[in-house]
Amino acid sequence: MTSPLSSAAAASPTVMVEACGVEKWYPNGFHALRGVDLCVHQGEVVVIMGPSGSGKSTFIRTFNALEDFQQGSIVVDGMPLSNDVRNIDAIRREVGMVFQQFNLFPHLTVLENLTLAPVLVRKRPKAEVERQALQLLERVGIHEQAQKYPGQLSGGQQQRVAIARSLCMEPRIMLFDEPTSALDPEMVQEVLEVMQELAREGMTMVVVTHEVRFARQVASRVVLMADGQVVEVAPPEQFFTNPQHERSKQFLRQIG
Amino acid sequence: MPMPSSLQRLRRELFATPLDSLISVLLMGGLTAAAAGLLHWALAQAQWLVIQANSTLFAIGRYPLDQQWRLWLLTTLLAAATGITWGLLRAWPRPDRPARLWPRNDVLASGLLALLALLLPAALALTPPLQLRWWGITALMLLARWGAGCWGPRVPGPIRRLLPLAWPVLYLLGMVLINGGLGLMPVPPSQWGGLLLTLIESSFAILLCFPLGILLALGRRSDLPLLRWGSVLYIEFIRGAPLITLLFLGQNILGFLLPGGVAPERVWRAAWVLTVFAAAYVAEAVRSGLAAVPRGQLEAARSLGLPVHQALIHVVLPQALRVALPATVGQFITLLQDTTLLSLIGLLDLLGTARTVMANPAFLGKNAEVYLVLAVLFWCCCAALGLGSRALELRLNPNANVRSTLANAKA
């Protein structure tokens, strides 16, 4: 994993994720990623769209090694991904992830969900982490629920807790894997607003979503993936009004 | 619709049609006759002398007379610790509901304990000093429960977290008291017996088979082929062999395999066999719990940077064990009852002691009395395990918390 590309990425501080020719086969032989390249700069919001089964989720899950890949290279925040466990843990500390199904820990209170990782992994004092956690919960608008269990919250509230939980680790980059797909329609907006706010504060974000409005308003670039490949990368205005590729046009017709 | 009175409900449920009435009358008649018969036998015909004369034997076997004070001391400590734990559990508030010092069940249980302490020693015809000791121990336990309930809220937080450690310490202390050592005269395991031996064997096996079972369950789901196949082989081999054959194997083969003197005492060999046996079943219970935890939980924990072992300890296992708890406790109860097999390999557990008593010419033909007492003793132990597990389940289940808060919110 010492291609000239990765060392170049390590030298440049503004590149947060550099994926190069990533190829992945599932154990059943399915070719999920077919040479995907993507470069995400600091402070950018990259929205990845595409039909289901196109490999979008699989692709961003390779960034923090939740999925492995067979060929190509990925450099996250200057650290080339390798199979070394310590390397993977180091990268995961810097990369926050928000899941479609929230994946809050149901046996812990909201506050404990937030403080668990910073106390265990970053070894920070509990009182200090709790103070920060309460501030974060206030930012996402649910500090009154800090002592409740996730099962007592609505879907939208749970997803906002999940975002706060990731932020509590003070990540350098945030990955969102279809964060609003499992939500009731009336709760989508509250989650998108939190994400928008986060983008405004300069967080580097990679978002897999079907929310066109969010992509138009927040994205720096939109990436269209289909059949395990990147079809088109363009600024949102251009992507939505004047897509260059036939596959993009077809996709926009389908969701439009 | 107004709630029907209990009399109306009884009528509706038992005497709705002529056929229902007939079945109800027959069933109730049969049950009453059986109960009356049992009562008549227990009070008029049964000769309880066999129990009265052998009560010490049933309790502790042939533990030397001059060392029995150690067991009394241990019983006293256990009673005090139980009382204190019980009181503190009631006194400390829980996240989901306010503390209630004296729920109705606790009052009932205390009354029952006091009644037993008054009646049982007399029924067993213990000597007055022994009766006095039992009264004292029961009084100490209830007093400790009352005191801990009163002063519990004033215990500061750091000490609260350390207090549960008192139990493992007490367990080790108990082992020293029973076994000897640290200046106490050693009492070899061959002199332990009765309920004492049953409780030692089962508690030892329960305490050790649980962590062993968790490791085996994790091993069975591991990505490392060697670990996975090792665990599968272990679990399937143990589950494929009857316990009694393993016990015989442990008694006979271990002596040949290990050089002379190294093989542990027979009592401990049996305890290890029980542990190894139960661990395979606990592993399967825990595996079902692990399967119930969604994959996303581990992924979320790992994506937050938790290393595998921390993700397992703090995120996956707490949820998995909660699911596996009822099945695991069921396994513990089975294990407790399986200790009776020890009598077949010549150990004097409760059943073994009972068999020696029944073989005594002085008590020939008193099998019914002995077996009834044995059944009641085992029922008490299993009921205690079951109660403990139900309480733990309620405590560990956040969904139960949700339900109670929702109910509070509606009220």
User: Is B235 in contact with B284 (CB distance < 8 Å)?
Assistant: yes
Print the SS3 string covering B257-281. Answer: HCCCCCCCCHHHHHHHHHHHHHHHH
Interface contact flag, A64 B303, Cβ < 8 Å: yes
Q: Above 50 in pLDDT, residue B222?
A: yes
Which residues are CB-contacts of B226 (< 8 A; sequence separation ≥ 6)?
Answer: none
User: Is A214 in contact with A185 (CB distance < 8 Å)?
Assistant: no
The rounded distance, in Å, linking the Cα atoms of A237 and A232 is 13
Q: Above 50 in pLDDT, residue B126?
A: yes
Query: What is chain B's length?
Result: 411
Identify residues of B whose CB sits under 8 angstroms from chain A CBs: 95, 294, 296-297, 299-307, 310, 314-315, 318-319, 322, 396, 398-399, 401-402, 405
What is the reported pLDDT for A111? Answer: 93
Interface contact flag, B398 A104, Cβ < 8 Å: no
Is A17 in a helix, a strand, or coil? strand
Chain A residues close to B322, C-beta within 8 Å = 107
Least confident of A158-162, A228-232, B131-135, B151-155: B151-155
Helical residues (DSSP H) of A56-177, grouped into ranges? 56-63, 85-94, 110-120, 126-139, 155-167
User: Is B174 in contact with B165 (CB distance < 8 Å)?
Assistant: no
Q: Above 60 in pLDDT, residue B105?
A: yes
Classify strands A229-234 and A204-208 as parallel, antiparallel or unpaired: unpaired
Most confident residue range from A48-52, B92-96, B366-370: A48-52
Nearest to A152 among B296, B305, B402 (CB): B402
Following CA atoms B4, B9, B11, B16 in sequence, which dihedral angle do they give, to the nearest 10 degrees? 100
Q: Above 60 in pLDDT, residue A11?
A: no
Chain B residues close to A64, C-beta within 8 Å = 303
The answer to whether residue A241 neighbours chain B at the CB level (below 8 Å) is no
Residue A8: which pLDDT band, with cuts at 50, 70 and 90?
very low
User: Is B216 in contact with B231 (CB distance < 8 Å)?
Assistant: yes
Describe the strand order of the beta sheet including A71-76 as a list of residue ranges: A31-41, A15-25, A71-76, A79-80
Following CA atoms B119, B63, B66, B73 in sequence, which dihedral angle do they give, to the nearest 10 degrees? -60
Q: What are phi and psi of A61, to 5 degrees?
A: -75, -15
Classify strands A31-41 and A15-25 as parallel, antiparallel or unpaired: antiparallel
State mean pLDDT over B140-154. Answer: 87
Q: What pLDDT digit, counting tens, does each position of A37-47 carry?
A: 999 999 999 99
The rounded distance, in Å, linking the Cα atoms of B11 and B15 is 5
Structure tokens at B243: 């316990």
What is the reported pLDDT for B406? Answer: 45
Q: Above 60 in pLDDT, residue B407?
A: no
User: Is B233 in contact with B224 (CB distance < 8 Å)?
Assistant: no
Chain B residues close to A113, C-beta within 8 Å = none
Under CATH, what is the fold of the domain A43-63+82-255? Answer: Rossmann fold (3.40.50)
What is the reported pLDDT for B252? Answer: 80
Residue A153's closest chain B neighbor by CA?
B402
Nearest to B314 among A120, A147, A169 (CB): A120
Nearest to A149 among B300, B396, B398 (CB): B398
Residue B288: count other Cβ atoms within 10 Å of its Cβ: 14
The rounded distance, in Å, linking the Cα atoms of A170 and A174 is 10
The rounded distance, in Å, linking the Cα atoms of A149 and A134 is 15
In the predicted model, what is the mean pLDDT of chain B?
Answer: 85
Q: Is the ipTM reported for this complex over the cut 0.90?
A: no
The rounded distance, in Å, linking the Cα atoms of B104 and B2 is 27
H or E segment and range at residue A153: none
Residue B298's closest chain A neighbor by CA?
A103
The rounded distance, in Å, linking the Cα atoms of B166 and B81 is 8
- Cα–Cα distances (Å) from B251 to A134, B200, B272, B274, B344, in that order, read 60, 18, 11, 12, 11
Q: Above 50 in pLDDT, residue B256?
A: yes
Q: What pLDDT digit, counting tens, does each position of B388-406 carry?
A: 888 788 777 655 544 444 4
Which residue ranges does chain B devote to CATH 1.10.3720.10? 188-406
Least confident of A6-15, B206-215, B300-309, B374-383: A6-15
- Cα–Cα distances (Å) from B199 to B81, B196, B202, B377, B382, in that order, read 17, 5, 5, 11, 11
Describe the strand order of the beta sheet including A173-177 as a list of residue ranges: A95-98, A173-177, A204-208, A45-49, A221-226, A229-234
Residue B94: which pLDDT band, with cuts at 50, 70 and 90?
low
Structure tokens at A155: 């879907």
Classify strands A31-41 and A95-98 as parallel, antiparallel or unpaired: unpaired
The rounded distance, in Å, linking the Cα atoms of B294 and A106 is 11
Closest CA to B351 of B61, B117, B102: B61
pTM equals 0.82
Interface contact flag, B296 A169, Cβ < 8 Å: no
What is the reported pLDDT for A7? Answer: 43
Q: Above 90 in pLDDT, residue B364?
A: no
Residue B29: which pLDDT band, with cuts at 50, 70 and 90?
very high
Under CATH, what is the fold of the domain B188-406? Answer: MetI-like fold (1.10.3720)
Q: What pLDDT digit, counting tens, does each position of B259-288 carry?
A: 666 556 788 888 899 999 999 999 999 999
Residue B75: which pLDDT band, with cuts at 50, 70 and 90?
very high
Which residues are CB-contacts of A58 (< 8 A; sequence separation ≥ 6)?
Answer: A24, A32, A33, A67
Q: What pLDDT digit, counting tens, does each position of A210-224 carry?
A: 989 899 999 999 999
Classify strands A173-177 and A221-226 as parallel, antiparallel or unpaired: unpaired
Q: Above 60 in pLDDT, residue B230?
A: yes
Closest CA to A206 of A38, A90, A72, A81: A38
The answer to whether residue A64 neighbours chain B at the CB level (below 8 Å) is yes
Residue B99: which pLDDT band, with cuts at 50, 70 and 90?
low
User: Is A174 in contact with A166 (CB distance < 8 Å)?
Assistant: yes
Is A224 in a helix, a strand, or coil? strand
Q: Which of A77, A94, A149 to mutate to test the interface with B (most CBs of B within 10 A)?
A: A149
Q: What pLDDT digit, counting tens, does each position of A70-112 carry?
A: 999 999 988 888 878 888 888 998 999 999 999 999 989 999 9
Return the sign of the alpha-carbon dihedral for residues B124, B129, B131, B134. negative
H or E segment and range at residue A25: strand A15-25
Summarize chain A as % helix, strand, coil (round to 5).
45, 25, 35
> Where does residue B185 rank: exposed (0-12), middle (13-18), buried (19+ CB within 10 A)?
exposed
Closest CA to B287 of B211, B218, B208: B218
Our CA angle for A78, A79, A81, nearest 5°, is 140
Distance of CA B344 to the CA centre of its chain: 22
Every domain of chain A and the residues it spans: 43-63+82-255
β partners of residue A79: A76
The rounded distance, in Å, linking the Cα atoms of A138 and A144 is 8
The rounded distance, in Å, linking the Cα atoms of B295 and A68 is 16
The rounded distance, in Å, linking the Cα atoms of B68 and B196 is 12
Interface contact flag, A101 B306, Cβ < 8 Å: no
